[in-house]
Amino acid sequence: MLRRIIRPARRLPVWLLLSVAAPFVFEVILHLWRYNVPRPASELDTPFFTSCQEPDVSAKRENAILVMLARNHELEKANKTITSIERQFNKWFNYPILFLNDNQWDPRFIEVLNKTSRGLATFEVIPQQTWTFPEGVDVNAAKQNIKEQGERGIPHAGEEGYHHMCRFYSGAFYKLDALKKYKWYWRLEPDVDFNCAITYDPFVQMARHKKVYGYTIALWEVGKSCPGLFRSIADWKEMMGIPTNNLWKAMVSASWVPFPFRRFMSWLPHRDAYGDEWSLCHYWSNFEIADMDFFRTRAYQDLFDYLDKKGGFYFERWGDAAVHSLAVALLVDPRKVHHFEDFGYRHDHLFQCPANAPGGQLPESTLLGSGTWSPEMDNGIGCRCECDGRTTQNYGGYCLNKLKQPTTIKRPWFTWFL
Residue numbers annotated as active site: 288
Q: Distance between CA atoms of 418 and 139, rounded to whole angstroms? A: 40
Q: How far is CA 140 from the centre of its chain?
A: 31
Question: What is the number of other CB atoms lying within 10 angstroms of the CB of residue 75?
Answer: 18
Q: Is beta strand 213-215 parallel, antiparallel or unpaired with respect to 337-339?
A: parallel
Given a contact cutoff of 8 angstroms between Cβ atoms, the answer to whether 122 and 96 are in contact is yes
For residue 20, the one-letter residue type is: V
